[in-house]
Structure 1
Amino acid sequence: MPEPVGPFRGRGVQATPEQLRRLRHELMAWVLAAGVDPARAGDIVLASYEALANVADHAYDGAGPGLVDLDASVLDDRIEVVITDHGQWRTPVPDPRPVSLRGRGLMLVRASADRADIFSGAEGTVVTLAWDLDPVRP
């Protein structure tokens, strides 16, 4: 079971590659400080970062980087990460390369998290991810 740590708050972060990378590193440090196994921590940060990258690709219209919030907490026997943008969904520009990995972000998020809920509305999108910390033994 992880060590007790306070919540992680990354509020009003610009959805730019540099700022999202910084947020990813800060989240990894927080998850590891919570005592999460490094492999499980990797899953948490991978899914969270992919959701953050989707904000940069889909939430804002190119008039400049929008803002994103990331909140993470240890709740009983799970870690929960909530990523919130304040934009409107938009389809990204198609990738002209013959083989593209674009369009697989949400599949990766769902495969890496134990639970993934996504809600989009007029006020933006909220992605809530959760990982169980005491996996059920067979």
Structure 2
Amino acid sequence: MSEEGRQFVLEGVRADLRVLAEVRRRVAEFAGEIDLPPDTTGDVLLATYEALANVVEHAYPPGVPGTFDLVVDYSRDDGVLTVTVADRGSWKPESDTRVTRRGQGLRLMNACSDAVRVERRDAGTRIQLQWNCGQARTLLPEREPQTGR
């Protein structure tokens, strides 16, 4: 990362809904520090919160404590903001979202960001969200079709 880059990192955060408001507040502070426009900040906060809520709700079995890491990278040189949320849980099999009315999280993340990548690994799931905030629009990779979590 160049001298113009900034990073915000939280590691080993307890996967608990009660901590998400504080994490959201800290991401909002970081967005202010890097002068993100209000509309972009709103999209970043909504998509990031949805990714974090997915970790809390889906990554770990009920009653089993878990953690997540959050990394927010901003490169002023290319104007790209990347949010990475990683857990150490396991991906749940898809359910019938027509019945449960769930599974809209990835759709929301896609609607709020320029690119979304989901990596399902043996050691957990990694979600990467990306926004192009620069003057010269950097081409981001094509979105890959994702299934709901």
Alignment of 1:1-138 (within 5 A): 4=4, 6-75=6-75, 76-90=78-92, 102-134=102-134, 136=137
1:64 to partner: Cα distance: 2.8
Q: Classify the secondary structure of the residue corresponding to 2:10.
A: strand
Computed over aligned residues only, the root mean square deviation of the Cα atoms, in angstroms, reads 2.3
Percent of residue pairs identical? 32
Distance in structure 2 (CA, Å) of the matches to 1:26 and 1:103: 26
> How many residues of Structure 1 are paired with residues of Structure 2 in the alignment?
130
Which structure 1 residue ranges, 4+ long, deviate > 6 Å from structure 2?
A: 92-95
- Pair 35,5 (structure 1): closer, same or farther in 2 beyond 3 Å: farther
Q: Aligned with 2:90: secondary structure?
A: coil
**Ranges in structure 1 where 5+ consecutive residues have no aligned partner:** none
Residues 22-70 of structure 1 show CA distances to partners (whole Å, capped at 9, x for unaligned) of 1111001101111001111010111011000000111001133310100
TM-score (norm 1): 0.84
Query: Measured at CA, do residues 57 and 111 of structure 1 come closer, stay the same or move farther in structure 2, by a change above 3 Å?
Result: same
SS of aligned partner of 2:68 = strand
Secondary structure of the 1:116 match is strand
Shift of 1:21: 1.5
TM-score norm. by structure 2 comes to 0.78
C-alpha change, 1:88 and 1:132, in structure 2 (3 Å) is same
Read off the aligned partner of 2:86 and give its amino acid letter.
T
Shift of 1:104: 0.7
